[in-house]
Amino acid sequence: MTIIITGASKGLGKAIAEKYAADKMHNIYLCARNEAALQELANELLKDFPGTRVYTFVCDMSDKAQVFTFAKWLLDQHVTVDILVNNAGQFIPGSVYNEPEGALEKMIEVNLYSAYHLTRSLLPSMMQAKSGHIFNMCSIASLKAYENGGAYSISKFALAGFSKNLREELKAYNIKVTAVYPGAAYTDSWSGSGVDPLRIMEAKDVAEMIYASSTLSMQACVEEIVLRPQLGDL
């Protein structure tokens, strides 16, 4: 199978890549902005899971032109897209009334447009093949506004809407669409925050649910995955 993961160099993207690499039989295509971190991950996967084929592409998913370049690179290799994980994302804290100027534009570019443009670029080949599974990494912030969420929550609400539209549009083409709504999961971004790692989820929890959802029969589609820490949101 061919697995494509954006924003793959750390956090949830890295955990998802590790989960699929453990099968040792997939072609895994990873992109991220940080070339050094991306290459480090690729080296780790090749070392820990011999037989896995890993390909990397440095790309800032907030830049429309770079997204199109990444998509062209994939299509030029004639890949059959089995699983696309639109994971690239960014968080800028603040409320609508006090967040930095340009925060909304940036959040929309990273959290919505990246998934929109990449998916649109790959869909013609997926529709022709009448197969594939798209996972959009939304957030608990897609379901409920919260303090200091501002533009981030707005962008994630939009990504959830994009997911719902895709799900309806692609049923006839046998392409599955799953919106993923994770709560707080411990990644590098939480390091030094003072939050007890045992208070929130592990990144691999999210990866496990995505993996499980992608292994169901063709007749079944998990439309939404909602995960929260056992003790609730922070």
Helices in 10-85 by DSSP H: which ranges?
11-21, 35-48, 64-76
pLDDT at 124: 97
Region at 27 (left for phi over 0; alpha for psi -120 to 50; beta for the rest): beta
- The predicted-structure confidence for 24-33, as pLDDT tens digits, reads as follows 889 999 999 9
> Catalytic residue among 29, 116, 152, 181, which?
152
State how far the alpha carbon of 206 is from the alpha carbons of 117, 130, 167, in Å. Answer: 24, 27, 20
Quick check: is 152 catalytic?
A: yes
Average pLDDT over residues 185-192: 78
d(CA 142, CA 158): 8
- The predicted-structure confidence for 54-81, as pLDDT tens digits, reads as follows 999 999 999 999 999 999 999 999 999 9
List the chain domain ranges: 2-227
Q: Would you say 98 and 140 are in contact if contact means Cβ atoms under 8 Å apart? A: no
pTM over 0.75: yes
Q: 2-227 adopts what CATH topology?
A: Rossmann fold (3.40.50)
Q: Which residues in the chain belong to E strands, given as ranges?
A: 2-5, 27-32, 53-58, 83-86, 133-137, 176-182, 185-186, 201-202, 224-227
